[in-house]
Amino acid sequence: MAHTSYEERREEMTPGSTEQRNAEFPMTVRDAAFYLGVSPQTVYLWVERKQIPHLRVMGRNIRFLKSDLEPFRASFKQEVENGKTE
């Protein structure tokens, strides 16, 4: 089974759908890692350390909202540019 990206799944939703107008499509760990430019293992580490905004779905499944990740991504990129990452 081929992995479809977050953007491809959003495009598959019909333009007038209620879901698209009222809610963001949650991103998987893999999608979030790609969006942030890090490995999925790094994202799991940040979740474990509570360093990244995330949602728990049905207990163990982790999801992210792009609107939550945008400020995190901006601050993360700023830290990388300033050499302040751990």
Structure tokens at 40: 């999925």
**What is the DSSP code (8-state) at residue 77?**
H
Instruction: Give the per-residue pLDDT at 50.
Output: 94
* Domains annotated on the chain, with CATH: 23-82 (1.10.1660.10)
- pLDDT at position 24, please? 80
Instruction: State the DSSP string of 4-70.
Output: PPHHHHHHHS-TT-HHHHH-PPPBPHHHHHHHHTS-HHHHHHHHHTT-S--EEETTTEEEB-HHHHH
Q: Tens of pLDDT along the chain (86 residues)?
A: 456 666 666 555 545 544 444 468 999 999 999 999 999 999 999 999 999 999 999 888 999 999 999 998 988 777 777 876 55
